[in-house]
Amino acid sequence: MNDTNIGFIGLGNVGSKVANNIIKNGYRLYVHDLDEKSSYSLVSKGAIYCKSIDKLIQNVSVLITCLPSPKSVKNVILKSLPNITNEHLWIEMSTTDEQDMRLLSKLVLNKKAEVLEAPITGGQHRAESGNISILVGGSKESFKRSFPILSCLGHQILHCGEIGKASTLKVVTNYLASINLLALGEALMVCKKYGIDLKTAFEGIKISSGNSFVHETESQVILNGSYDVGFTMDLVCKDIGLFDKLTKKYNIPAEISSLMIDIFERGRLQLGDRALSTSIVKILEDKCKEDLRAEGFPSFLEDKNQKQEAKEVII
Q: Are residues 123 and 256 in the same domain?
A: no
91 within 8 A of 137, measured Cβ to Cβ: no
**Residue-wise pLDDT tens digits, 160-200:** 999 999 999 999 999 999 999 999 999 999 999 999 999 99
Q: Are residues 151 and 185 in the same domain?
A: no
For range 220-233, the mean pLDDT: 97
For range 10-16, the mean pLDDT: 96
Can you give the residue range of the structural domain that contains 281?
Answer: 168-288
Q: Strands (DSSP E) along the chain, which ranges?
A: 5-9, 28-32, 48-49, 62-65, 89-92, 114-117, 120-121, 132-138, 154-161, 311-312
How many domains does one find in the chain?
Answer: 2
pLDDT of residue 1: 67
- Residue 298 within any structural domain of the chain: no
Q: Are residues 90 and 114 in the same domain?
A: yes
Q: Are residues 125 and 250 in the same domain?
A: no
For range 272-289, the mean pLDDT: 97
pLDDT of residue 69: 95
- Residue 65 within any structural domain of the chain: yes
**Residue-wise pLDDT tens digits, 117-167:** 999 999 999 999 999 999 999 999 999 999 999 999 999 999 999 999 999
Q: Are residues 10 and 150 in the same domain?
A: yes
- Residue 232 within any structural domain of the chain: yes
239 within 8 A of 95, measured Cβ to Cβ: yes
Q: Are residues 81 and 147 in the same domain?
A: yes
**Residue-wise pLDDT tens digits, 77-87:** 999 999 999 99
pLDDT of residue 2: 83
- Residue 192 within any structural domain of the chain: yes
pLDDT of residue 191: 98
Return d(Cα 102, Cα 109) in angstroms, integer: 10
**Residue 212's CATH number:** 1.10.1040.10
Q: Are residues 142 and 214 in the same domain?
A: no
**Residue-wise pLDDT tens digits, 283-311:** 999 999 999 999 999 999 999 999 999 99
Return d(Cα 76, Cα 200) in angstroms, integer: 48
- In terms of Cβ atoms closer than 10 Å to its own Cβ (0-12, 13-18, 19+), residue 283 is middle
Q: Are residues 28 and 57 in the same domain?
A: yes
- Residue 296 within any structural domain of the chain: no
pLDDT over 70 (residue 107):
yes
Return d(Cα 70, Cα 234) in angstroms, integer: 13
Q: Are residues 152 and 22 in the same domain?
A: yes
Centre a 10 Å sphere on the Cβ of residue 239 and count the other Cβ atoms it contains: 23
Q: 280: helix, coil or strand?
A: helix
- Residue 297 within any structural domain of the chain: no
- Residue 180 within any structural domain of the chain: yes
- Residue 293 within any structural domain of the chain: no
Q: Are residues 100 and 193 in the same domain?
A: no
Q: Are residues 174 and 270 in the same domain?
A: yes
For range 91-114, the mean pLDDT: 97
**Residue 9's CATH number:** 3.40.50.720
Return d(Cα 277, Cα 208) in angstroms, integer: 25
> 48 to each of 11, 76, 91, 217, how far by Cα in Å?
13, 18, 19, 34
Q: Are residues 9 and 119 in the same domain?
A: yes
22 within 8 A of 152, measured Cβ to Cβ: yes
